[in-house]
Structure 1
Amino acid sequence: MISRFDRYLLSQLMMFFGFFALVLVSVYWVNRAVRLFDQLISDNQSVWVFLELSALSLPNVIRLMLPVAAFVATIYATNRLASESELVVMQATGFSPFRLARPVIYFGLIVALMLSVLSHFLVPMSRARLNERNLEVSQNVSSKFLSEGTFVHPARGITLFIGRIDQTGELGDFFLSDRRDPAAEVIYSSKRAYLARSDSGPKLVLLDGQAQRLDGATGRLSLTRFENFTYDISSFLAPRGSRWPEVEELPTAQLLTADAAALSGIGATVEQARFEAHDRIAKPFLPLALALIAFAALQGGSYSRFGLWRQIGQACGLFLVLFLLSNLADKAAAGRTDLLGLSYLVPASGMALGLAMLAWAGRGRRPGRSGREALA
């Protein structure tokens, strides 16, 4: 049974967690969405494509921000309860730091469950779909070429200009400069042109135009007029075909059981697959460790009329240290199967540190019994 105090503190933690998660995810997501919007608009993509790609990137953004939101929510909720003397009352009734931390543990486990669902299911699925849509966008010929009245550069050494685009799809006042060959630059211009599809890829059909070729060695300029001319544009388009999945897109069970032969087909190694799987298992417990450390840090120390800023600073310092150690452990364990235990080191160390800080905060306190029974 969850006591009245546990329900109260848990509700406070969840409320502030929802608020800070919304703020942090929104700020991080909007920052990425602005860059994505500029890129897609420059490629003449529609707003619907932008919304779809932004939504597909959201699960990974949430996964990154939830541990930070859990830490900030614990700091804020604990500081608020302390400033309003609610924690002081609970301590006076005989609640030890370990007893006070019970709803914090519940809160950390709830966030860990959310992160597990994201890490094992939602993020891999969204990444797979996002990479597929990015490939489709990169192979969209219309978005790369059909831009009226502006110079576009669909590939290195290629400059394209279309004066007008009719409703029938005909291109007017067409200009294309091909400088990919250093020995010769070719400029194609025509009054009319249109895109045509073929088995070997998309083609540009130019009507009533001319081709100017400048020889880089001799400096001679040759001019060729034509009534119709077909230009192959598939050479500077992204190659079509099936896409090999990335390690981050594979299910966790497959990452744990796949052998070297199966992973070599997608350009991955056993070490990469095992690290990704164990990282998905271990990282969801990081919010539990951060919540314990945040709560324990604010329980330690004596009363000060200036508030708990010193304890908050200590918790933030430990937060940064944990994330630094997590990054170092990830780099060390990424390429070696014998160091996969490092994936679990930071969450386990964080939880042990939080429990040790709770024990230190409870030194000298003698819990009573009647007060606890009255509020349990």
Structure 2
Amino acid sequence: MKRLTAYLSRLFMTDALILFGVVCFLLWLVNCLRSFDVVSVKGQSILTLAAQGLLTMPQLSIAFFYVCVGIGLARALQALQANRELHIIHTSHGLGSLWSATAVVAGAGVICVLLLSNFLEPYANRRLNVLTASVAADLVSSTLKPQRFTQVTPGVVLLIGGRSGDGEIQEFFADDRRDPETRRTYIAQAARVSTDGTNYVIELRDGSLQYTEADGRFSKVTFGRYDLSVDRLSQPMGVPNPLLEIDSLTLVSNAIRSGAWPQDVVSLLVNRASEGLRVIGICMVVLAVSGFPSGRRSRFNVPMEAIVMLLAFGERGISAYSPLGPSTGALLMIIGGGAVLIARTWVRPAPQVVTA
């Protein structure tokens, strides 16, 4: 690697990593504040709050990772132009080093975001579901106060009549309104929380399960014993998608072993792979816009950071509504950035001077 390429690579990566670290820390603090009921209401320690906020970070960090890479690259290129270093790079035939440094940053970003989306995020989802179920089980078994309504998760409210010394719960009541189409109500004379070492279960005895549909229809099922998984009460949207807890290597291995490629597995793998294309696309667009010196003075100087944010917003919108898949916006950025780069680096023939 040339010295100029190494210098530019360090400059681009430093700005991107600093911005990414600051954003991660701020979002972690916001997640902790949003989950503060884990400490204040559910009786957990501050370490549980910190762990819950940390485990939600991989999914959020994937969403803004390529934005941080693009802003870091743009800020570094603007600093080079302000110091006239960008002019020197172009006039001294250093354009190849500029392209190589951008490729190094894009390649490192692709590797990082693919590790996040394919391995770290599934692991964090798995640990977060276990932690959330553990908090809910502890809330039901020991922390929940008798004769007091307590919200386990948005849309789920619990009430118990009392608790005996051996952990037996009397008069258990749970109201689940997360599904707008169906309201579930669990009523039991007694309950107890148990675990098999992996999953937590609420053993309901001598009770009923009531369903209320959106159109007003009502149904009721009585039981002598009913095992209610804590996951059904602890997850904000009900039963979690088990595929989100499995890393991509395991998904591919299972598909190859079985010979079947379900559509939901393929869609999940494509979504995870598209994050790498976003990093490549944002780097190409930023290089095409800010990688060439300009001596023109504009009346209104639009910050490049705002342009990157708007570009990312548009890319997400296109990818979300495009029938071609989640990679549509990233591919458009790659095509558009590549076309601008080719146009700006195209060697035009010098005008011929006609002498009389």
Normalised to the residue count of structure 2, the TM-score between the two structures is: 0.68
Residue of structure 1 equivalent to 2:137: 139
2:109 is paired with a residue whose SS is: helix
Residue of structure 2 equivalent to 1:114: 112
Residue of structure 1 equivalent to 2:216: none
Equivalent-residue separation in structure 1 for 2:99 and 2:172 (angstroms): 69
Residue of structure 2 equivalent to 1:70: 69
Structure 2 residues not aligned, in runs of 5+: 176-186, 196-200, 206-224, 233-238, 350-356
Q: Where does 1:199-210 land on structure 2 (aligned, <5 Å)?
A: none
Equivalent residues of 1:138, 1:238 under 8 A apart: no
2:35 is paired with a residue whose SS is: helix
Equivalent residues of 2:149, 2:157 under 8 A apart: no
Residue of structure 2 equivalent to 1:325: 318
Equivalent residues of 2:204, 2:226 under 8 A apart: no
Q: Where does 1:16-55 land on structure 2 (aligned, <5 Å)?
A: 16-55=15-54
Change (3 A) 1:39 1:322: same
Letter in structure 2 aligned against 1:286: R
Deviation track 1:40-73 (CA, whole Å, cap 9, x = no partner) reads 5322222222222222223223322211110110
CA drift of 1:169 comes to: 9.1
CA drift of 1:112 comes to: 0.5
Residue of structure 2 equivalent to 1:291: 283
CA drift of 1:288 comes to: 1.9
Equivalent-residue separation in structure 2 for 1:276 and 1:14 (angstroms): 29
Equivalent residues of 2:20, 2:68 under 8 A apart: yes
Q: Where does 1:1-376 land on structure 2 (aligned, <5 Å)?
A: 2-96=1-95, 99-141=97-139, 145-147=143-145, 152=150, 159=159, 238-239=229-230, 246-256=242-252, 258=254, 270-299=262-291, 302-305=294-297, 309-310=301-302, 312=304, 316-329=309-322, 332=323, 342-363=325-346
Residue of structure 2 equivalent to 1:192: none
Equivalent residues of 1:296, 1:354 under 8 A apart: yes
Letter in structure 2 aligned against 1:65: F
Normalised to the residue count of structure 1, the TM-score between the two structures is: 0.65
Equivalent residues of 1:160, 1:177 under 8 A apart: yes
Deviation track 1:114-160 (CA, whole Å, cap 9, x = no partner) reads 11111221111111121122122222245664449976467978656
Equivalent residues of 2:28, 2:54 under 8 A apart: no
Equivalent-residue separation in structure 2 for 1:298 and 1:157 (angstroms): 53
1:140 is paired with a residue whose SS is: helix
Letter in structure 2 aligned against 1:86: E
Equivalent residues of 1:148, 1:161 under 8 A apart: yes
Change (3 A) 1:73 1:160: same
Rg (Cα) greater in structure: 1
Give aligned-pair identity as a percent.
Answer: 15
Give the number of aligned pairs: 306
Structure 1 residues not aligned, in runs of 5+: 181-185, 189-194, 205-233, 334-341, 367-376
Letter in structure 1 aligned against 2:316: F
Change (3 A) 1:202 1:282: closer
Equivalent residues of 1:40, 1:50 under 8 A apart: yes
Equivalent residues of 1:25, 1:62 under 8 A apart: yes
Letter in structure 1 aligned against 2:320: N
Change (3 A) 1:58 1:315: closer
Equivalent-residue separation in structure 1 for 2:194 and 2:278 (angstroms): 53
Equivalent residues of 1:75, 1:294 under 8 A apart: yes
CA drift of 1:23 comes to: 1.5
Letter in structure 1 aligned against 2:311: L
Letter in structure 2 aligned against 1:298: S
Letter in structure 2 aligned against 1:293: V
Equivalent-residue separation in structure 1 for 2:71 and 2:157 (angstroms): 50
CA RMSD, aligned part only?
4.5
Deviation track 1:271-313 (CA, whole Å, cap 9, x = no partner) reads 2111111222232231121012112111358423459935836
Which piece of structure 1 moves more, 62-71 or 103-112?
Answer: 62-71
CA drift of 1:238 comes to: 4.7
Equivalent-residue separation in structure 1 for 2:121 and 2:242 (angstroms): 13
Deviation track 1:162-190 (CA, whole Å, cap 9, x = no partner) reads 8xx9xx8999xx9989798xxxxx9x9xx
Equivalent-residue separation in structure 1 for 2:253 and 2:42 (angstroms): 40
